Structures are given as C-alpha cells and as structure tokens.
Amino acid sequence: MNIRCLKRALTSLLLAALPLAEPPAGAADGPGTWPTLQRPASAESAPDADGFIRRWLILEPLPAMGLTDGAVQSSVKKEHFPDPFTVLPKDGDKVTTAGAERTWHAVDTTQYNVNLFHFARSLGKPTSNVLFWGVTVVNCAEELKDVRLAIGSNAASVWWVNGSEVVGIYGDRQTVIDDGVSKRLTLKKGTNIVRCAVVNGGGATDFCARFLDASDQPLKGYSVRLSAGGN
C-alpha cells in the first residue's frame, strides 16, 4: 500500500471512529451547525487573509464512480441537470437527477476549505462514490488580468471560470493547497462565475480555491456573492 492510500485509509478509519452528532434542527433544509459550515449571513463576503473563497452554493451529492481522468470527465460532462455550465442556481433551488430530487445549499466555511463530508453527512446523504457540484460568483470592481485559479481537492475535481474549463486534478488524493493551478486568465469587471465538480471515492472529501495575482500572490481585491450583478 503506498503512502497516499495509507493516509486515506487512516483518515477513513478516523472518520468512522468519530461520534456522529445528532443532526441539528432543520438539517434537512441545510448544513445546520457543523463546526466549519454555516449559512451566509450577508449578501456578499470577501476572500480570507490568504485569498481563499469561503462562500459557495453546493448541490447535494450525485452518484459517481471512478477517479481516473476519463471516469471523472465522463461524470462531469454528463448533463445531470439542465444547463450545468451556464445556470446560476439560488439557495434552495431543486433539480431532479439520477432518479431523485436534490437541493442547492448556500454555505460559508469558517476554514480555508469546504468540508463536503460534513455537508453531506449532516443532510443524511452519501459521502462515497459521489459527485458534488459547487458554484460561486466573484465580483470584480475592475478587470483583472493574468490571474490564475489555484485549487485543491479530495479527491478529483474539475473547475470552470466563466464557462471555460481551466484546471482539473485526478486520482485518489488528499486536499493540498494550490495542488492544481490554471493558466493565466482574465477576470472581467463585474460578475465572474466559478464552478467546480468534486468526485470522491471514499472517506473524507473537501476542496479549497483561491485566485493568484500576476505575481502569484493571493488575490483579495474582489467580493464573493451567490448571485449575479453588483459592483
């Protein structure tokens, strides 16, 4: 067993050993009161001191199998719901896919990463062999050139900015900050939509994302919203 697989196995055993808290009141309607996730309390937020985006809309997990490049690309390119690469959902919106209704949830994370294991488990949803969709809105006061999207995920993930696929990482992996970095791109003045699809095989699952500026320093001069518009 290689080191990565051993770490994943140990993580899975640790998660299995942790006591599961009773789901909070209203857990069926949102992530509730897990330690690192909460409902947004304002119309917009800002990236944290290290540039990480902490506000996202997350769709309840879909079934998915395989972490290779081909398996992940096949999973994310399938039209699970109408217009997956153009629609901007709202908190509470529902889609019917894979024979079941699933809901979009607005979340803020108190950490640099979004804990998808906590998100799914608090809703009574599966955490293994699943695909999570995420979307957020980056609102820029002016055009920002030569920036790069830097991401990490457990396990595989694919990322889009304004409808264009910009970076993907594959295989059974732990979340590492800036594990995948896009080519230089331009964030336009106003609304920019960032999407991700995270595929997990088993055990813990999470992701993190931030933009780096032209000097590869964390970009922080923008706001984060869950709706289009605003300057």
Q: In this structure, is residue 16 part of a structural domain?
A: no
Structure token pair of residue 15: 């998660």
Higher per-residue confidence, 108 vs 230: 108
Beta bridge partners of 45: 224
Q: 16 pLDDT band (50/70/90 cuts)?
A: very low
- Mean pLDDT calculated for residue range 40-66: 96
The pLDDT assigned to 65 comes to 93
Four-point Cα dihedral 89, 92, 94, 100, nearest 10: 130
- Statement: residue 204 has pLDDT above 70: yes
**Residue 139 forms beta bridges with which residues?**
191, 223
Answer yes or no: is 28 within a domain: no
The number of beta carbons lying within 10 Å of the beta carbon of residue 28 is: 11
Q: Helix, strand, or coil here: 59? A: strand
The residue to which tokens 């902490």 are assigned: 54
Residue 126 in domain: yes
Model pLDDT, residue 132:
98
Reduce the DSSP state of residue 28 to 3 states and report it: helix
Average pLDDT over residues 46-54: 98
- What is the span of the domain harbouring residue 76? 38-87+99-225
Residue 32 lies in a domain: no
Look at residue 213 and tell me if it is in a domain: yes
> Is the pLDDT at 1 greater than 50, yes or no?
no
pLDDT score at 187: 98
pLDDT attached to residue 81: 87
Q: Which tokens sit at 228?
A: 């289009």
- CATH code at position 162: 2.60.120.380
pLDDT for the residue 35? 78
* Residue 22 domain flag: no
- Among the ranges given (28-37, 71-80, 125-134, 215-224), the one the predictor scored with the smallest mean pLDDT: 28-37
3-state secondary structure of 84: coil
Q: How many domains does the chain have?
A: 1
**Residue 156: in which H helix or E strand, if any?**
strand 156-161
User: What pLDDT sits at residue 146?
Assistant: 98
Within-domain flag for 200: yes
Place of tokens 């500026």: 213
**What tokens appear for 5 in the block?**
């697989």
Structure tokens at 214: 């032209």
